[in-house]
Structure 1
Amino acid sequence: MTFLVISILAGCLSVMTVRGRQGNWPSGMPVARPRLVAAGGTYTGSRGRPSDAYVIQERLVAAAHGAGGEPAHTAAALALGAVVAARPQYQEDLDECAQIAHRAVRTATLRSGSAHDLVSTMDVVVLDPGESPSLRFAHVGNGAIWHCAKGGEPRPLTTSHSFDDGPLLRALGLPSALNPEVGAVPLRPGDRVVIVSDGAIRALGAARMKELLSYGASPGACLDRLYDEMAAAEPKNDATVIIADYVTA
């Protein structure tokens, strides 16, 4: 029953987004506020084994990739469910958010009594608007987070926690203690941040991904181009991409 509920949660997480309300605004009232305008999607791999989940909110963007066979999507859903519940937009410590997600995935393995661990990667970015806007991030696994300053080229904010497509050295749910990669980068209006899963990187290659992400169109248009190329590449594993622009008006 627990796994059934988790699977339903995963489906909900993949479509969460922020929707504005239309109406007449009183004179003098602001029409917008600093936020992340994002487009995301998961290109289903040819193996037909769902493994990825993602969530998009006004100041929070996160993705997870479950490793292994059938329980993969369950692990990803557990990780993101814990992240959303931790409300990292209102917390200063993203390391603790990662630890909460790690415990959630690990506890599910122990309670199920399965011989196979539930394991998931995780990439989280949080917008801190404030007087000096910044983007905080937490990374575990072999996905990637990139920052593209307006008019510049994408640069990686994270490093992969696996070597030569080998096993994950860091992941949520492993018996070992978790040591997430955390950091922050200042933001200016027009900057772009991107989260990509390992499946997307394998399908197109890091160099081509960077070229496509530099395309100065909206996040939705950029995602469409990526989807076109992934359709030609036919990735075996799920490939998730989330593109978010920092806007203030």
Structure 2
Amino acid sequence: MTLISISILISCLSVMAVRGRRGPWPPGIPVARPRLSAAGGTYEGSNGRPSDVYVIQERLIAVADGGGRGRRGHTAAALALGAVVAARPQTAGTEEEDLGGCARAARDELSLAERATGLDLIVLDAGERPRLRYAHVGGGAIWYCAKGGRPRRLTTHGDGPVGTAEPEVGSVPLHQGDRIVVVTNGVVTALGAERMTALFADGRSPASCLDQLYDEMSVVEPEEDATVLVADFVTA
């Protein structure tokens, strides 16, 4: 009797529809969930003074480069990203300048480290016309690669401490399979733009792309931290 009851229950569950605010959802069909599917990591530099900090969420990715200043730089970078997360830029406004204000607040925290060199953040605006907003200060770079296309750099490269540098902001439309890559100055210095362009567009998954970047940086052995965040835009 127990076995029969369990069989009936399993049969009911297998055809049960998910009921949301707009009514039942057909069984077997995945719910659309636009997001950034990402992999990231920091290859610690040979100088032994780690200072990069990053955060990955489904609609927010950010990295701060403490400039190889060890504990002081790492603390400043962590405070900068704390300011970003607290501001919730993925829900606070939809304009490019809204993200610029968030970047300024984070930049001020990062400038506590005398040689902090970079801050980058990207936000996914999901909707009928998904797009990516970005803000950039100092070194490092944000790259965009349309699915099947050639990667292009969205940001310019700044040298020296972030200081009072004004954030560079912008946006790009997104489609399923598009890729965004955020790198700190250590990666730019170690691999160069030409090699990064080839690696970002070779069709690997974000995790496999990250592994390949790590393999190549292990040969170069960058002096400062080298952080890479690889994200694909997916909708299901």
Which TM-score applies when normalising by structure 1? 0.79
> Aligned residue for 2:88?
87
1:244 to 228, 231, 234: 231
Percent sequence identity over matched residues? Answer: 59
2:76 aligns with 75
- Aligned counterpart for 2:195 among listed residues 164, 188, 208: 208
By how many angstroms is 1:118 displaced? Answer: 6.8
- The answer to whether 1:127 aligns with 2:127 is no
Alignment check: 8 A CA contact 1:75 1:120 kept: no
Aligned residues: 208
The residue type equivalent to 2:86 in the other structure is A
What is the one-letter code of the residue matched to 1:191?
Answer: D
| Distance change in 2, residues 1:120/1:203 (3 Å) | closer
- 1:204 and 1:119 map into 2 onto residues whose CA distance is 21
SS at match of 2:155: coil
Which one of the candidate residues 189, 205, 208 is aligned to 1:218? 205
> Using a 3 Å threshold, how does the CA distance of structure 1 residues 36 and 25 change in structure 2: closer, same or farther?
farther
Task: Point out where structure 2 has 5 or more consecutive residues left out of the alignment.
Answer: 1-15, 19-24
1:156 corresponding residue in structure 2: 153
Q: Aligned residue for 2:40? A: 40
CA 1:74–1:25 in 2, change beyond 3 Å: closer, same or farther? farther
Summarize the Cα distance change of 1:68–1:220 in structure 2 as closer, same or farther, 3 Å threshold: closer
List structure 1 runs of 4+ shifted beyond 6 angstroms. Answer: none
SS at match of 2:66: strand
Decide which structure has the larger Cα Rg and report it: 2
- Which is further off, 61-70 or 209-218? 61-70
The residue number in structure 2 matching 1:234 is 221
Q: 2 CA distance for matches of 1:33 and 1:58?
A: 10
SS of 1:33's partner is coil
Deviation at 1:201, TM superposition (A): 1.2
Residue deviations 1:164-188 (CA, integer Å, cap 9, x gap)? xxx24xx1xx2x4x41000000001
Q: Are 1:139 and 2:123 an aligned pair? A: no
Instruction: Tell me: CA distance 1:232–1:129, structure 2 relative to 1, closer, same or farther (3 Å).
Output: same
1:157 Cα deviation after fit: 0.4
Q: Say if 1:200 and 1:241, in contact at 8 Å, map to a contact too.
A: yes
Match of 1:28 among 10, 26, 29: 26
The aligned amino acid for 1:127 is L
| Distance change in 2, residues 1:25/1:65 (3 Å) | farther
Query: Could you tell me how far 1:68 is from its partner in structure 2?
Result: 5.3
Distance 1:76 1:34 in 2: 28
- CA contact under 8 A between 2:139 and 2:185: conserved in structure 1? yes
Map 1:8-23; keep pairs closer than 5 Å. Answer: none
Question: Matches of 1:31 and 1:131 in 2, distance apart?
Answer: 15
Query: Which consecutive unaligned segments of at least 5 residues does structure 1 have?
Result: 1-23, 110-115
* Distance apart, 1:120 and its partner CA: 4.8
Deviations 1:103-154 (A, max 9, x none): 3345xx4xxxxxx737352100000011111000000011000000000011
Q: Name the SS for the 1:161 alignment partner.
A: coil
Report the TM-score when normalising by structure 2: 0.83
Distance 1:88 1:120 in 2: 22
Query: C-alpha separation between the residues in 1 aligned to 2:62 and 2:76?
Result: 14
